[in-house]
Amino acid sequence: MTEEVIYRQEIQDDFQEVFELNNKAFGQDNEAKLVNALRDNPNVFIPELSIVAAEKNKIIGYILLTKITIKDKNGNLHESLGLAPMAVLPEFQKNGIGGQLIRYGLETAKKLGYQSVIVLGHEDYYPKFGFEPAQKWSIKEPFDVPLNVFMAIELVKGCLENISGTVIYPKEFETV
């Protein structure tokens, strides 16, 4: 069903198509609005980690990783990344595009020097890419969710060994 899919950094010309993709994939515009809001926050937005999957110049998938922090019991802040959202157009789902977006995003984040990523996602999907329950490192979610869907991955082995605390998401996430 899919031709050759290109994975690349999002550009400004993609913004409207990415908005529509997120809207279709999630059946609402909350995630699409979240992406727009995060793009406008230079403290958390990393252009290289706003990634599209395109086939024949049509955007069929998207992933965003933004800066988050983990606040420990002493008030120290540790930088990490939050993976959200990740979306594929419904007619292109189940073709491995989401998995490739995740791999490409994690690889790019590691090249940029980031050491870990946090995700709130499907417990049967994200472990395929190395994500484990964040509770393994005593990293807590800032809101009430089942522990098995709040996960982390070390891009640099051992980077979370001495980090624990509660994740602080950018204020833009409060709108979702």
- Whole-prediction pTM: 0.95
Residues with Cβ within 8 Å of residue 69, at least 6 apart in sequence: 77, 78, 79, 80, 167, 168
**142 vs 91: CA distance, rounded Å:** 34
| Structural domains of the chain, ranges and CATH numbers in brackets | 5-175 (3.40.630.30)
pLDDT at 9 over 90: yes
pLDDT in tens, 24-55: 999 999 999 999 999 999 999 999 999 999 99
pLDDT at 3 over 80: no
pLDDT in tens, 68-105: 999 999 999 999 999 999 999 999 999 999 999 999 99
Mean pLDDT (the chain, rounded): 96
pLDDT in tens, 100-154: 999 999 999 999 999 999 999 999 999 999 999 999 999 999 988 998 999 999 9
Q: At 2, is the pLDDT very low, low, confident or very high (cuts 50, 70, 90)?
A: low
pLDDT at 1 over 70: no
